[in-house]
């Protein structure tokens, strides 16, 4: 897998289930660990269609069947071929993956809150990655909140600005994928219980 993502460590009891996933899948890990993560964090699986030898339909089918085996209460999926991200958790969870591409200022303005506009732009030519990550974070958060179509991105503060990846009971983290994609995970901190294995 190109730019293999790594992930949250599975509890010992789910190690055997994860071993059966084969090299076509890997756990996705946050780009930066925060004190709010750990045992109550969601399980996230990155599926690479190239390594799995499947087409778009096969990728979607695999992403749909994967959480069924663990019986998770909350599931979120995102697709950006050749990748699929699947997150499971004991509480609401949202995940999104996007390919970094050219972003025009008009698009950026259509998704930024007034505070995000006031913060300005990153320096050093990372504008496209920044805007794509902003959109991706908001999409993951809106999925975790219920239905992404119910939230106007101009009124939803992106989780990238949350101190230490926290906003009240909500947690967020960017995920490592590869140099061409960005991904975000947002979740409601669950009560102390082992998260489902994926």
Please write the tens of the pLDDT for every residue from 177-197. Answer: 999 999 999 999 966 655 555
* pLDDT at position 29 over 50: yes
Q: How far apart, in whole angstroms, are the C-alpha atoms of residue 3 and residue 153? A: 29
DSSP-derived 3-state class of residue 115: helix
Domain containing 32 — which CATH number? 3.90.470.20
- 193 within some domain: no
Greater pLDDT, 83 or 120: 83
Structure tokens at 31: 């780009």
Structure tokens at 96: 């999104």
Check if the beta carbon of residue 190 is closer than 8 Å to that of residue 91.
yes
Tally of domains within the chain: 1
User: Range with the lowest mean pLDDT among 23-27, 49-53, 166-170?
Assistant: 23-27
- 6 within some domain: no
pLDDT on residue 36: 43
User: With DSSP H G I counted as helix, E B as strand and the rest as coil, what are the percentages for the chain, rounded to 5?
Assistant: 35, 25, 40
- 61 within some domain: yes
pLDDT tens per residue across span 34-64: 444 444 789 999 999 999 999 999 999 999 9
Q: Which domain holds residue 163?
A: 12-188
108: β partners: none
- 197 within some domain: no
- 45 within some domain: yes
- 20 within some domain: yes
pLDDT on residue 126: 83
pTM to 2 decimal places? 0.78
């Amino acid at each position: 897998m190109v730019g293999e993502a790594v992930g949250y460590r599975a509890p010992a009891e789910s190690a055997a289930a994860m071993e059966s996933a084969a090299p076509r899948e890997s756990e996705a890990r946050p780009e930066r660990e925060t004190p709010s993560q750990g045992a109550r964090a969601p399980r996230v699986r990155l599926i690479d269609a190239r390594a799995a030898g499947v087409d778009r339909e096969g990728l979607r089918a695999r992403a749909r069947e994967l959480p069924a085996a663990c019986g998770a209460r909350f599931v979120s999926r995102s697709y950006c071929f050749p990748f699929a991200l699947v997150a499971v958790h004991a509480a609401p969870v949202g995940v999104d993956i996007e390919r970094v591409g050219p972003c025009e200022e008009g698009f950026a303005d259509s998704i930024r809150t007034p505070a995000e506009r006031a913060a300005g732009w990153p320096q050093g030519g990372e504008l496209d990655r920044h805007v794509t990550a902003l959109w991706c974070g908001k999409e993951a958060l809106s999925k975790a909140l219920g239905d992404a179509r119910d939230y106007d991105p101009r009124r939803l503060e992106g989780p990238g600005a949350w101190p230490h990846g926290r906003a009240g009971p909500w947690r967020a983290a960017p995920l490592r994928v590869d140099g061409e994609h960005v991904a975000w995970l947002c979740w409601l901190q669950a009560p102390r219980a082992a998260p489902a294995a994926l």
